[in-house]
Amino acid sequence: MLLELFQRVRKVLLTPTRFLPEGSGALQLRARPPSSSGWCRRCRRGGPGAGMLLPPLLPPLLPLLLLPALAQGHRPAVLRLGLRDSPRAEVSPAFLSLTLDASLARDPRYVALLSNSKLRALATALSPGFLRFGGTETDFLIFDPNKDSTSEEKILWEFQAQQEACGSRPAFAAVEKVLLAQWPSQEKMILAEQNRKKHKNTTITKNTLDILYSFANCSGFHLIFGLNALLRKGGLQWDSSNAQALLDYCASQRYNISWELGNEPNSFRKKSGIHIDGFQLGQDFIHLRQLLNNYALYQHAKLYGPDVGQPRKHTRRLLRSFLKSGGKVIDSVTWHHYYVNGQSATRGDFLSPEVLDSFATAIYEVLEIVGQTVPDKKVWLGETSSAYGGGAPRLSNTYVAGFMWLDKLGLSARQGIDVVMRQVFFGAGTYHLVDANFEPLPDYWLSLLYKKLVGTKVLQVSLAGANKRKLRVYLHCTSSLNPKYREGDVTLFALNLYNVTQHLELPDYLSSKHVDQYLLLPHGKENILSRSIELNGHVLRMLDDETLPELVEKPLGPGGLLGLPAFSYGFYVIKNAKAFACI
C-alpha cells in the first residue's frame, strides 16, 4: 500500500507542471493545522484523486521528490520589453568587425594563405565590416618597396594578374598545401615570441600589402592598417619616413584604407624599452594626420587610436593625456579588452557572471575618460577576445567561448560601444574564428547568426523571476538586411549560466505573436568544450569550400515559453512585435 502511494505521488510530482497560485488547477501541497491527528499532510488536486491522504512516513521524502519537479517546473522568468520606447543606443552597421593579427606577416609567406577561397567565403558571409590589420607585431613591421617579395607572394600575385581580381586560385593550391603543413611550427614560434615578449623587426613588401588589401576588398571589408609607432627620432619624436613610403605605394595603387598608429602604447616600454607618454603620442597622431592630408586619396581617410590596453591606472592616465593632446584628429577612440590570461584561464572563468560583469566596469571607465576629454568621439573596441596571449587552449576555440563573445556583443551595444573588432578571424592561437584547416569554429557561427539577426538599434529589456546575472538577456531591432523579417520585428538573445533549463515568458501583449528560435547547442561528447555546434538540432558545417549552410529557424507557436537549456545561448526573433523604434 505504502509503495503504491509513493509511486503514485512520485509520478504526480515528476510531471512537468508550473507551480501556480491556488485555484489554478495545479498541484497544491498543504499542511493541516497542528491540532489535526493521524495524517500530517494532504495532497489536493483539482480532479481525480482529490483528497488523497499521504501517510506520515512520506513527508520526509517530499523534499527529495520535489527536487526534479522544481527543476523542471519552476516559474518562468518574465520578460519586460521596451517596445514603445526610443532606442537605448544605436551602433554602427559595421558593429561586429574583424581583425587579422600582424603576426601573420611575421613571415610574409603566410599572408598568401589569405587567397584561400574557403577562407574568403567565410569572411564574405560576415561582411560588411572593418578588417583591422594590427597587433603587437604592427610596431615591428618595416615596409621596403624595393625588396623582393617571398616566392609564395610572387607566385600568388602573378596568378592574380592573369585572372579575375577576386576569383579563386586553384593553381596556387600546391603552394598553399606546403604553407599549411609548415604553419604549426610557425604558429608555435609566434606564440613563444609573444610569451617571452621578445620581438624582431620583419620586412614586408609591396606584394604583402597587395594580398592583404585584396583579401579585405574581395571579402567586403574596409581595411584598417596599423602603422609602426616605434620608429623614433632620437628616441622621442615619431619617424614617419617609413609610413610615408608605405602611403606612397598604397596611394599609387588607389587602395582605400583607414589608418592606426601603434598598438597598446601602454606596453611600449615592456616590449621595446621605449617609453612614449600620452602627450607625445597625441603629437605623433597630429603628425600622421598632416601626412595623410598630403595625399588626395587620404585627405578624408579615417584615423583611429590610440589602441590602448585594459583601462588600468597607467593606461587610463595615458589615454586621458593622449586625448587631450591629439584627440581632435582621430575619428574614433580605440581600446582593447580581454577577460582573462589564456595561460591560466579555466572553464569556470568562461561561465562566471563575475568575470562577464567585469567588462561592464571597464567600459564605464573608458567612456568616462572619453566623455571628459573628447565627448563627441565614438568609442570602439579595436581588438578583443576571450583571453589574451593567443587565447585559452581547449577553451577559446570551443562552444564555451560563446558565453564571453555573445555577452560582450550585448553589453558593448547596450553601453554605447560603436564597433567591436574580434581578435582574430584567422591566425595564430586558439581565439580565432576559423582554424588552421579553414574550418569555422563555434564563435564563427555565433558571429554569423548575430550578423544575420541582430540590427543596429538597441532596445530596453529586463526580466523578473531569475537572477539577471545568470540569465542574461539583450534586445535589438531585427536586422533590416534579413529578407525573412519585417520592420517592427525584434531579436532577443539570451545566455543561460544556470545548470538547469530556464524558461522565458513573453509579456501578455505578445502572447499571440509567432517566434522564430535559433538555439545554439554544442555537438558531440565534449559538450560545452566541443569545437562543433548545432543550430536547432542540426550540425553547422560548410556544404563545400564556397557554400555555407542555410541558417534554418525553428518556428514556435504563440503563447509558449522560450526554453533555454542549461549552459546554452540562443536567439529569438519575435515577429510582428511592432516595436516603435524598429519601424
Query: How far is residue 549's CA from residue 563's CA, in Å, rounded to a whole number?
Result: 24
CB 76 within 8 A of CB 445: no
Query: How far is residue 401's CA from residue 409's CA, in Å, rounded to a whole number?
Result: 13
DSSP state of 4: H
3-state SS string over 165-217?
CCCCCHHHHHHHHHHHHHHHHHHHHHHHHHHHCCCCCEEECHHHHHHHHHHHH
Residues 6+ away with beta carbon under 8 Å from 329:
285, 286, 288, 289, 303
**Locus of grid cell 591560466:** 344
Which of 448, 582, 572, 430 has its CA nearest to residue 515?
A: 572
Of all helices (H) and strands (E), which one includes residue 582?
none
Which of 193, 264, 505, 553 is the catalytic position?
264
Query: How far is residue 437's CA from residue 159's CA, in Å, rounded to a whole number?
Result: 23
Which of 224, 207, 229, 235 has its CA nearest to residue 136?
A: 229
The 10 Å Cβ neighbour count of residue 200 is 8
Instruction: Name the grid cell of 218.
Output: 574581395
Instruction: Name the grid cell of 216.
Output: 579585405
Query: How far is residue 126's CA from residue 142's CA, in Å, rounded to a whole number?
Result: 30
The full DSSP string for 289-316 is HHHHTTSGGGTT--EEEEEE-S--HHHH
| Catalytic residue status for 383 | yes
Query: How far is residue 199's CA from residue 108's CA, in Å, rounded to a whole number?
Result: 15
Which of 383, 505, 534, 553 is the catalytic position?
383
Instruction: Name the grid cell of 223.
Output: 581595411
CA atoms within 13 A on the CB side of 208: 26
The 10 Å Cβ neighbour count of residue 550 is 9
Which of 508, 491, 505 has its CA nearest to residue 570?
A: 491
Q: 431 - beta bridge partners?
A: none
Query: How far is residue 572's CA from residue 530's CA, in Å, rounded to a whole number?
Result: 23
**Locus of grid cell 567561448:** 401
Instruction: Name the grid cell of 272.
Output: 621595446
Which of 367, 480, 479, 357 has its CA nearest to residue 417?
A: 367
3-class state of residue 321 by DSSP: helix
Residues 6+ away with beta carbon under 8 Å from 24:
none
Query: How far is residue 317's CA from residue 196's CA, in Å, rounded to a whole number?
Result: 26
Query: How far is residue 525's CA from residue 530's CA, in Å, rounded to a whole number?
Result: 8
| Catalytic residue status for 264 | yes
Residue numbers annotated as active site: 264, 383
